[in-house]
């Protein structure tokens, strides 16, 4: 299950994505969560980071047992 929530927070677009998973809390390497798809895969995070940076937004990711959440704020 993936939960998607979007709303305007003042002049910023707020987006939250929560992906339920059977995995335990994921580990970070060099400031990024490791892909569970295997080596040479998992470029989605990098692409999203590039877009958020281009629009001078903010991104936060959190991993806990059973869920992975990404929150994004983009200026209007």
- 29-61: pLDDT as tens digits: 676 766 666 666 667 888 999 999 999 999 999
C-alpha radius of gyration, the chain, whole number: 13
Q: How many CA atoms lie within 13 A of 29 on its CB side?
A: 3
What would the DSSP string read from start to end of 1-30?
A: -EEEEEEEETTEEEEEEEEE-SS-PPPEET
Segments making up each domain of the chain, as ranges: 2-75
Please enumerate in sequence order all residues whose Cβ is within 8 A of that of 50, keeping only pairs 6 or more positions apart, or say none.
none
* Level-2 CATH architecture, domain 2-75: 2-Layer Sandwich (3.30)
Can you give the pTM of this predicted structure? Answer: 0.80
């Amino acid at each position: 299950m993936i939960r998607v929530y979007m709303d305007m927070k003042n002049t910023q677009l707020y987006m939250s994505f929560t992906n339920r998973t059977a995995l335990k809390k994921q580990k970070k390497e060099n400031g990024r969560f490791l892909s569970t798809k295997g080596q040479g895969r998992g470029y989605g995070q990098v692409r999203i980071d590039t877009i958020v940076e281009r629009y001078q937004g903010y991104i936060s990711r959190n991993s806990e047992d059973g869920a992975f959440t990404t929150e994004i704020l983009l200026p209007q």
